[in-house]
Structure 1
Amino acid sequence: MASIKDLDVGEQFSSKLEEIRTKLLSQAMGEMLNEATAEFCQAHKQYMQSVLDTCLKKCREDETMFETIQGYTEEVKHLNSITRERNGERPEILGSIQDKESHKEHLIQNIEKLKQEQAKNRELIHSQNKANKDRLKNLNKVKEIFKEWLSLEIRKIQGEKLQFIFRNIDHKNPQNAYTFVLRINENGEYQIVSCDPPLATMDHLERRLQETNNLSAFLANVRKEFVALHNTTKTA
């Protein structure tokens, strides 16, 4: 009991208790610090892993975007190249279009000229046909007159050809026929096809007929030539 009341012992005991308390407190604090540090490290590790995953995802997205941009850039370069080529071809294309337009205009003008020429040709053919019909009509009108005065018979043969038959040239044989065949050619001119018996002057008479267009005089001259030929033959 005396030892308990001793002051030194009391102080030693208090010091010992304080030491134990401090030690226990230090241990508790260490355990708490270790636990907090572990939790912090785990949280920091998880945070850093999250940041790393986010960065990796962002990097992949950036890489994909870069590849896309690179693809767009290449495509734009290709389109620019095509555009430059087409711009270079544009003058040739425009020149070709202008040439075709000019050729088209030339064809239209030629077609118009051909139409005008065809119209003129149709008008000319119509005029020639009318003139030919008028000539044939006149021939028919004078047919009876020639038959009566010149003993001339006119026959239509082989289309538009006319055969002229003179009689009463040989008084011993008045029915002997002296003939020639006449037609109107594509130029609307009188043309002698044949003559029986042949007359040496027929070519000259034909030219005179074409120049004067006087059929009555031509027929009278042909009859005179047939008479002269008969008389010459009879004398010989």
Structure 2
Amino acid sequence: MVEEELMLFNKSINEFWNKFKSTDTVIWWGSEITYKAPIKAFAEKLSVKLKEEEQMVEMFLEYQNQICRQNNLLKLIAEVKGKKQELEVLTANIQDLNEEYSRKKETISTANKANFMFTNIDPKHPESPFMCSLHLNKAKDCEVSDRAPPLECQAECQENVRKTNSFSAFLKVFTAMVYN
């Protein structure tokens, strides 16, 4: 008997559901409720709203991606500006170094022009050039730095210049050393 009652109850639920789907009017606890639109129309409206919300979410995500790309571009632009400033500083440094190099090159050229070049020192080879550079060190002593050809007794020659403080004495010693 319980099975029969369950089958009857199931049948009545199915009938109620079928009536509910097909009508605009429902009887609820003895009261009649009239719907303004069928359930199907309501479901369609709800579906449209859901699609609109999905589109809004997609638009939001797209805007968010665009903002992220713009932020990345702004970062890249800032990096490029920074690199451009670094390049300008490096270019200025290179220019300064080139100017310093030119000054030093000119100083060396001037110093080379100031070197003492002699000929007619070696009677066997009167055209052979002999050269030496004299300068004062920090203690204001005269020093012989560059010489051609190199002399074995440079220390003696330099000491003679310091003792006598005479360039002509230096030349005599220099000539004597070359001649010997």
- Identify the TM-score tier after normalising by the shorter chain: 0.3 to 0.5
Q: Which is higher, the Rg of structure 1 or of structure 2?
A: 1
Higher helix share: 1
The TM-score, its normalising length taken from structure 1, stands at 0.34
The TM-score, its normalising length taken from structure 2, stands at 0.43
